[in-house]
Amino acid sequence: MALERTFSIIKPDAVAKNVIGKIASRFESNGLKIVEMQMKHLTQEDAEGFYAEHKERPFFGDLVAFMTSGPVIVQVLEGENAIALNRELMGATNPQEAAEGTIRRDFAQSIDANAVHGSDSPASAEREIAYFFGK
């Protein structure tokens, strides 16, 4: 299978908890290579544009407020089957429902503060990588 790229964010809760290294290590030890990485404090506009698909959802305001509450790490991960593999390593959106050994089970506290984001399809990966890193 060909190499694939996906977009990942280590969210403000995980950065504040000092577990950037532990999360990056999960990627690295499971065959994902970090090929772009930057710490960034998202503006309101950055977060609203990034999550535009959720604009009409009731949690949109809270999501944008949370994502701009502190610095994040934006990164591009590369590996075989990177999009699905990253979603598997992350675990379910709600950490209470996330499988044992997943990043969200181990480092997240709530559905809002859930430690990481990962692209959910090839189309989102392409859009999200371009959004933060250009083509």
Catalytic site residues?
Answer: 117
Find, among 72, 86, 88, the residue nearest to 118 by Cα.
86
Indicate the DSSP class of residue 31. Answer: T
- Contacts (CB under 6 A) with ligand RTP, residues 88-107: 93
Tell me the closest approach of the beta carbon of residue 117 to Mg ion, in angstroms: 7
| Residue 68 counted as an annotated binding residue | no
Number of residues that bind ligand RTP (CB under 6 A): 10
Q: Which of 109, 112, 126, 132 binds ligand RTP (CB under 6 A)?
A: 112
Q: At what angle do helices 82-90 and 20-29 cross, to 10 degrees?
A: 130
Q: Which of 72, 114, 115, 125 binds ligand RTP (CB under 6 A)?
A: 114
The verdict on 63 binding ligand RTP (CB under 6 A) reads yes
The verdict on 121 binding ligand RTP (CB under 6 A) reads no
| Residue 26 counted as an annotated binding residue | no
Find, among 112, 110, 91, 114, the residue nearest to 102 by Cα.
91
Distance from C-alpha of 89 to C-alpha of 102, rounded to nearest angstrom: 5
> Given CA atoms 94, 26, 120, 17 in this order, what sign does their dihedral have?
positive
Interface with ligand RTP (CB under 6 A): 54, 59, 63, 93, 111-112, 114, 117-118, 120
